[in-house]
């Protein structure tokens, strides 16, 4: 690699991180700002061309992003919404593929049906990263958030399997309904089986590794191992990775506290870096895909793009509304087991159909043989991806606010249940302390230590109640717990300055400084509240 190539390689992540950091500072949606910045930068003369590699996206970026999302999801909540998630991740993807594919087949002269269906499979799966980021920031309720995340975890498996069938048909491989159904069943079933086996083995290993650094270094390899193990036997690597992530996330409480603390930081950094690069790459493809339209009628191409964008958006709504309410009408079991879904939640989920980099990667992977309209299909994919990210992404926050969808009641209920749990846990801890005092007879010698432990346990229980408005001060004033955290943070800042000054005066070594700073950082982390 020459020096120019090395600089170009570094420019992409550096620029993406700068834009993402600016978005965080300005409280804007990082995915949307990255895409828009990529579009602008791509037309600046002299900027190097970054061509999207399908292999890098599908084998380097996709596994860790899927794994991290699955690791951070809730198995129990996903189980509660498994029916709507399956309706979206399987039913909606296939419905969208048919709607988009048949529209393209009817509009574009000379386009083969298999190619049209391949296009449908390419743009069918939404990428919920942007929607989830906006939803979290604006306080989207838990159920629609879980549905969106669950859909994004599994819909790529459906779309990529359908894509393989369509591309196989382009190459002359027979793909009847039974054959396609068999391929899907094999890919999903074997991917699920491989994921379950690897999840069990990885869980056993992680719980036995006492070193947090080694455990998290090992965890970085898990998504790639799960993805490749399934893809080698032509199964769904997506399902394998998702199953492993969900299982390990559910079992994370069995690992050491050091592993858990480090794991969150590690995967936050991985997510931030990879997502920043991915969304920047989407915008940077503008010139690459436009260059392939040489000789095409621009107005005609624009008409195709607008029509397919409209079908993409409307097909989601056309599936979601009856898919949400019709089962309740025809099934008494569903009516009795599931609560009524507010129409506002349906509207929010229906509008959260932003497409992402997986669609572009699949389009770039389309074969050049037997597909003369490949460049046109690539541009149409790009147009749908950019259209959904910009139009739906920019209007999504407005829609959430306009409909008054909020998780305020859920946050209050969470605080209430946490307070009750903290009180029960504190009672158990104090009871155990009294047992140890009675058994070991340490009270006479270590009265001060025992009193400190009692005070610490009682304060932890009181802090949770104070967040509900149960503080001792007048309304609007800081609670004792808030005052404690604020004053202790100020004390820690002063203590750090002393250690830094002593290090600068060569009275303590850097190793000593790092050790005491780590202890103080950990204490300050325990003072932080979301």
Residue 40 CA to chain centroid, in angstroms? 26
Would you state the pLDDT for residue 471?
47
Over pLDDT 90: what percentage of the chain?
30
Residues 93-107 pLDDT 10s: 999 999 999 999 999
419 with 362, same domain?
no
* CA-based radius of gyration for the chain: 27
Which of the pair, 34 or 73, is modelled with greater confidence? 34
Whether residue 196 is contained in a domain is answered as: yes
- Is residue 304 predicted with pLDDT exceeding 90? yes
The domain boundary residue, chosen from 342, 377, 406: 406
Would you state the pLDDT for residue 173?
63
- Please tell me the distance from the alpha carbon of residue 524 to that of residue 38, in angstroms, as a whole number: 38
- Is residue 156 predicted with pLDDT exceeding 60? yes
Residues 455-490 pLDDT 10s: 767 666 666 666 665 444 455 566 666 777 777 778
Whether residue 513 is contained in a domain is answered as: yes
Whether residue 1 is contained in a domain is answered as: no
- Please tell me the distance from the alpha carbon of residue 362 to that of residue 57, in angstroms, as a whole number: 9
Whether residue 256 is contained in a domain is answered as: yes
The candidate with the shortest Cα–Cα distance to 382, out of 276, 285, 275, 278, is 285
DSSP of 103-135: HHHHHSTT--HHHHHHHHHHHSS--THHHHHHH
Would you state the pLDDT for residue 530?
42
- Please tell me the distance from the alpha carbon of residue 492 to that of residue 523, in angstroms, as a whole number: 9
End-to-end CA distance of the chain: 45
**Two tokens, residue 448:** 């001060």
297 with 373, same domain?
yes
In this prediction, residue 259 has a pLDDT band, given cuts at 50, 70 and 90, of confident
Residues 180-222 pLDDT 10s: 778 888 988 999 999 999 999 999 999 888 788 999 999 999 9
CATH number of the domain that residue 162 is part of: 1.20.1530.20
Q: Phi, psi at residue 441, to the nearest 5°?
A: 60, 40
Instruction: Print the domain residue range for 69.
Output: 10-406
Q: List Cβ neighbours of 370 (8 Å cut-off, separation of 6 or more).
A: 170, 171, 172
The domain boundary residue, chosen from 375, 406, 437: 406
Name the region of 469 (left: φ>0; alpha: ψ -120 to 50; beta: rest): left
Which of the pair, 498 or 102, is modelled with greater confidence? 102
Average pLDDT over residues 499-515: 79
Would you state the pLDDT for residue 472?
45
Q: List Cβ neighbours of 58 (8 Å cut-off, separation of 6 or more).
A: 358, 361, 365
Burial 101-110 (b: 16+ CB within 10 A, else e): bebbbebbee
365 with 224, same domain?
yes
């Amino acid at each position: 690699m020459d020096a120019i190539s090395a600089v170009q390689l570094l420019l992409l992540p550096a620029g993406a991180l700068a834009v993402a950091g600016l978005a965080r500072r300005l409280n804007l949606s990082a995915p949307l700002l990255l895409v828009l910045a990529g579009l602008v930068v791509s037309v600046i003369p002299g900027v190097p061309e970054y061509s999207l590699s399908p292999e890098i996206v599908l084998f380097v970026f996709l596994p860790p992003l899927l794994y991290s999302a699955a690791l951070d999801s809730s198995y129990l909540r996903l189980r509660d919404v498994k029916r709507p998630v399956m309706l979206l991740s399987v039913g909606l993807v296939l419905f969208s593929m048919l709607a988009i594919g048949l529209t393209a087949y009817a509009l574009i002269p000379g386009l083969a049906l298999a190619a049209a269906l391949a296009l449908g499979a390419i743009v069918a799966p939404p990428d919920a990263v942007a929607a989830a980021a906006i939803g979290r920031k604006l306080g989207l309720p838990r159920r629609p958030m879980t549905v969106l995340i669950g859909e994004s975890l599994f819909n790529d498996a459906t779309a990529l399997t359908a894509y393989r069938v369509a591309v196989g048909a382009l190459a002359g491989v027979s793909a009847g309904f039974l054959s396609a159904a068999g391929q899907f069943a094999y890919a999903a079933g074997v991917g699920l089986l491989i994921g379950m086996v690897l999840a069990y083995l990885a869980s056993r290993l992680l719980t036995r590794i006492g070193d947090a650094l080694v455990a998290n270094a090992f965890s970085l390899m898990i998504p790639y191992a799960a993805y490749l193990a399934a893809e080698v036997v032509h199964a769904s690597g997506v399902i394998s990775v998702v199953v492993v992530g969900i299982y390990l996330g559910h079992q994370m409480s069995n690992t050491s506290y050091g592993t858990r603390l480090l794991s969150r930081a590690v995967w936050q950094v991985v997510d931030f870096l990879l997502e920043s690069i991915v969304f920047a790459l989407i915008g940077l493809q503008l010139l690459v895909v436009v260059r392939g339209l040489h000789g095409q009628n621009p107005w005609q191409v624009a008409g195709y793009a607008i029509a397919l964008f409209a079908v993409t958006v409307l097909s989601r709504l056309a599936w979601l509304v009856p898919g949400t309410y019709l089962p309740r009408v025809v099934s008494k079991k569903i009516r009795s087991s599931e609560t009524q879904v507010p129409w506002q939640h349906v509207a929010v989920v229906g509008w959260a159909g932003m497409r992402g980099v997986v669609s572009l990667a699949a389009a770039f992977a389309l074969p050049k043989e037997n597909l003369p309209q490949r460049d046109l299909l690539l541009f149409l994919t790009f147009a749908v991806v950019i259209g959904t990210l910009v139009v739906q992404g920019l209007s999504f926050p407005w829609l959430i606010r306009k409909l008054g969808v909020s998780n305020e009641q859920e946050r209050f209920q969470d605080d209430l249940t946490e307070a009750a749990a903290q009180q029960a846990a504190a009672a158990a801890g104090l009871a155990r302390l009294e047992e140890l005092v009675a058994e070991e007879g340490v009270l006479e010698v270590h009265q001060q230590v025992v009193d400190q432990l009692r005070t610490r346990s009682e304060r932890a229980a009181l802090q949770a109640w104070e967040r509900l408005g149960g503080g001792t001060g007048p309304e609007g004033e800081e609670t004792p717990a808030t005052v404690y955290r604020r004053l202790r943070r100020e004390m820690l800042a002063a203590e750090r300055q002393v250690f830094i000054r002593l290090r600068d005066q060569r009275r303590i070594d850097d190793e000593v400084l790092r050790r005491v700073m780590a202890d103080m950082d950990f204490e300050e982390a325990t003072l932080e509240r979301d």
